[in-house]
Amino acid sequence: MDGQSGKTMQSLPDTLSSLKGFNKYLTPGWIESVSHILKELTPTKPHKVMEEDTQNVFECHDTELDIKVAKIQDEMVSLGAQLKQKTLQKRESLNNYLDLKGSIRVFCRMRPFNHEESYSSRTMFTLDESNVFLKVAETKTKQYKFDKVFDPCSTQGDVFSEVEPVIKSAIDGYNVCIFAYGQTGSGKTFTMEGKPKDLGVIPRGIQVLFDRASESNSRFQLTFSMLEIYMGNLRDLLVPGSKTNGLKNVPSLSIKTDPDGGIEIENLVAVTVNNFQEVKRLYGLGTRLRSTASTMANSTSSRSHW
């Protein structure tokens, strides 16, 4: 397009606007002629310039976007490294804590007295944070020392706060065993299982395992098994009909040592679990299959170790 044509193109809008007052004299032929002129005068280079400008704008925008994305990626890498470092420090601190506390710890929890128990028995002992003093005679007291003593007013949360670090260490590869020991009616089931609105060690610990695994940078596969030791035999509590069929019809489980020195129980059912609710369902199933009997202190006292 030459200079004159460019000037004509620039002044064309004003010219068309001035002709609007004479629209009654305009004919279809005239409009067609003007349209033909417009097509012939359609600028090529200016459009090309606009396309180039638009392309440059997009290129600049893409460049800025790439820079921002790269910056975010760098920040994510940095945060990932910091998280990994914090995780290692946290794991090291936990392991040091457990080493200081000892690999084997024994707790004592005193349950509240019930109305059927005599008042005299309530004055037979005193305690502090790590000792129980039992009065065995008028002037004689016997001392029992523990790593931790929970008084009758202790809560489920108080007990779990002491065992939670041990449970967390399982995700780091440590073997963990937590069990309750005591006579019938001493409160073992309440401490370990609790109630729906006052959970015990087992449900709290399972939830912590899932939380710990989800926070880790590693991937874990969690499996659930449940068995009991009854009359010297191992019985799988997840085998359907194991209780109704009797011990004679249940496959005998044997304990062996694996090549790494760990304990392995052959033929024990292990179910892969993905969340707390799946474990809760399996735990309920295994609990119903336990060997129980009625006693004066407990109508469903467990007759086995599990």
Annotated binding site for ATP: 182-189
CA distance 231 to 284: 22
Answer whether 216's CB lies under 8 Å from 86's CB. Answer: no
Q: What angle do CA 147, 171, 225 make, to 5 degrees?
A: 90
Which residues are part of a known binding site?
182-189
- Number of residues assigned to the chain: 306
CA distance 135 to 143: 9
3-state class (DSSP) for residue 305: strand
- The H or E element spanning position 127 is strand 125-127
The label of the residue with tokens 């069990």 reads: 179
The label of the residue with tokens 């474990």 reads: 279
3-state class (DSSP) for residue 137: strand
The number of C-alpha atoms within 13 Å of 95 and in the hemisphere containing its C-beta is 12
Phi, psi of 301 (to 5 degrees): -65, 135
CA distance 201 to 238: 21
CA distance 285 to 240: 9
- 113-127 in b/e form (b: 16+ CB < 10 A) is eeeeeeeeeeeeeeb
The label of the residue with tokens 């779990």 reads: 160
